[in-house]
Structure 1
Amino acid sequence: MKNSPISELSVDARKFLVKRDDLIDPYLAGNKYRKLYTLLKTTPDKIDKIISYGGTQSNAMLAIAAMCKEKAWEFIYYSKPISKTQKLSSVGNYFNSITLGMKHIEIEHSLYRDFISSLRVSIDAKTFIIEQGGAVQEAKKGLEVLAQEIRAANLSVKSLATPSGTGTTALFLALSLPEYKVYTTPCVGDVGYLKTQMQALEEIPKNLIILEPKKKYHFAKPYPEFYVIYKKLLDAGIEFDLLYAPAMWEALLSQTKEEILYIHSGGVSGNGSMLQRYLAIDARKSNL
């Protein structure tokens, strides 16, 4: 497993450190690389097929597609119906995942929940199901490796931060580094939803601090303030994803004061499609 470097970043006159997991691989990077550690170490003959599900902006979807391409495993991904615009787009996580060989199957909204619940009923021994966002116990080993890298860096900082979808990364990182304070914030749903997702895996440790967003954000929806934060960070020298990072940075800048090591969770490969949406919003405003 590759050891990612650490960069310095100055934002709003504050110094941050950034663990550059985004530099590990163009597609299989960030926290998804860590979550898939056990499967990456699995020999190709042990598995024939990977099944997963969720949104089609998903960074996990793209990481799994890249892994399956490398291992020559079939990859089937289920989602609710998507727009014709997204299907025809030549940028973003969905396009890249299809290019890597992912088979995408749409399930009607009314049938989706029951269908996902039934996925495990008839799978064979060589099929592996990855829960939405990579929320599986197998992710724990990869986060333990990340924890070892952070300890080995012998940093003066004692606070970490990483955004949360299912909360898998933040949870296992906090469990692996009890001597650190670990900040996170929900980027999918609210704090209650995030706690429920985490508690399905392990008990939430006391050193994991969930920062409440200033308002409820809907996942993958463009927000002007997110674009402002994205540009601020880009101008400071590092590109972050537009889905998770802005919410985490907004919370850190407004609710914390100490020096923090931010775990870059990757996902910048999906920025192309999100930036198109922001540019479309700007164009509409200009025409008013």
Structure 2
Amino acid sequence: MNHFFLPSPIQSITVENKHFYLKRDDLIHPDFSGNKARKFHYFLQNNLPHVQKAVSYGSSQSNAMYSLSVLAKMKGWEFEYFVDHIADYLKENPHGNYKAALNNGMQCRLMEDGGWKMEDEENTLFIAEGGRQKEAAFGIRLLAEEIIEWQKEQHIDELNVFLPSGTGTTALYLQKSLSIINHHEVSQERGQSLIQVFTCPCVGDSTYLKKQFSMLEEDEKYHPRILTLDKKHHFGKLYRENYEIWLKLQQQTGVEFDLLYDPLGWRTLLAHSEVYTTKPTLYIHQGGLLGNESMLPRYERKYRK
């Protein structure tokens, strides 16, 4: 990755008077950062001369949509993105990830207009929603290597890692990579312990997330541990508790977090003290801040006080 800030920095932070480490993957690159930079690293680094167009699908304000538009622009590809629905307000007032992706040359299509054009398959790269595919392991392994190197430099024997999940791809491949690398090192260097990855489901429930893990990796020994809250959470819905913790995080750390995943992530992590009181805990900031441009005004309108 040319002009990319790797390894991403790790800083100490205090949240609600509790100490954490923060992996700043949001700082990898101004236009191509967070877990999407990791997931799509394979496509950026490898020469794919047959590819002329990238095609994917998902929501009209998806972080992956924007990151793919950047990737396509960097590689000189066309980019088609399919959605089920585009709100009239968004069409008339483009903003956030949607506007930025359009500016990068994205062609946005409705699923009802015909879906994939399979006749173009030879020259087309199909990318699953949110980057949920085996190629994602390539860049996420680099993330695992960065964490292990930092762990050694800090002389930390045992470490917990936490990140919120959509498709769960990053959490799964991070746990698998850490386990494989550490297993190799344990056999050569006694005392090096495993790193445990924890996550929480943001899009569906635990059952949904386990299914996502199993689609990519059947062996459950490589699956992260799933943490949840008692109260059910609906993806994309505005919750007062999410807005409050987001504001607190900014006040207490000086770091801006994503409004869609990070509030639930931090609320879940803070509710499970057995994770961060027993071992040093590293939270991964996965970027996605462009989405705040559309989420923040909604929160401000609903919770003015």
One fold, TM greater than 0.5?
yes
Residue of structure 2 aligned with 1:218, choices 234, 239, 248: 234
Task: Report the CA distance between 1:206 and its aligned residue.
Answer: 5.6
Task: Report the CA distance between 1:124 and its aligned residue.
Answer: 2.3
Partner of 2:127: 130
**Separation in 1, partners of 2:93, 2:242:** 23
Task: Report the CA distance between 1:197 and its aligned residue.
Answer: 1.1
Q: How does 1:16-55 map to 2 (within 5 A)?
A: 16-43=20-47, 45-55=49-59
**Separation in 1, partners of 2:281, 2:87:** 39
Task: Report the CA distance between 1:42 and its aligned residue.
Answer: 2.5
RMSD: 1.8
**Separation in 2, partners of 1:82, 1:141:** 32
Does the CA-based 8 Å contact 1:174-1:205 persist in structure 2?
no
Does the CA-based 8 Å contact 1:159-1:182 persist in structure 2?
yes
Does the CA-based 8 Å contact 2:229-2:271 persist in structure 1?
no
**Separation in 2, partners of 1:218, 1:46:** 40
Q: Secondary structure at the match of 1:192?
A: helix
Partner deviation per Cα, 1:63-90 (whole Å, 9 max, x = no partner): 1011111111111000111111112334
Does the CA-based 8 Å contact 1:87-1:95 persist in structure 2?
no
Task: Report the CA distance between 1:123 and its aligned residue.
Answer: 3.9
Does the CA-based 8 Å contact 1:44-1:73 persist in structure 2?
no
Task: Report the CA distance between 1:216 and its aligned residue.
Answer: 2.4
- TM normalised by structure 1 equals 0.91
Matched letter for residue 48 of structure 1: Q
Partner of 2:291: 270
Q: Secondary structure at the match of 1:56?
A: coil
Task: Report the CA distance between 1:45 and its aligned residue.
Answer: 3.0
Partner of 2:86: 82
Task: Report the CA distance between 1:26 and its aligned residue.
Answer: 2.1
Question: For residues 86 and 205 of structure 1, do their structure 2 counterparts lie closer, same or farther at Cα, with a shift above 3 Å needed?
Answer: farther
Q: Secondary structure at the match of 1:63?
A: helix
- TM normalised by structure 2 equals 0.86
**Matched pairs, number:** 277
Spell out structure 1 runs of 4+ moving beyond 3 A: 119-123
Task: Report the CA distance between 1:43 and its aligned residue.
Answer: 2.7
**Separation in 1, partners of 2:212, 2:195:** 22
The answer on 1:185 being equivalent to 2:200 is yes
The answer on 1:239 being equivalent to 2:256 is yes
**Separation in 1, partners of 2:38, 2:297:** 29
Partner of 1:250: 267
Q: Secondary structure at the match of 1:162?
A: strand
Partner deviation per Cα, 1:29-84 (whole Å, 9 max, x = no partner): 10000000110112363310100001112111111011111111111000111111
Task: Report the CA distance between 1:228 and its aligned residue.
Answer: 0.7
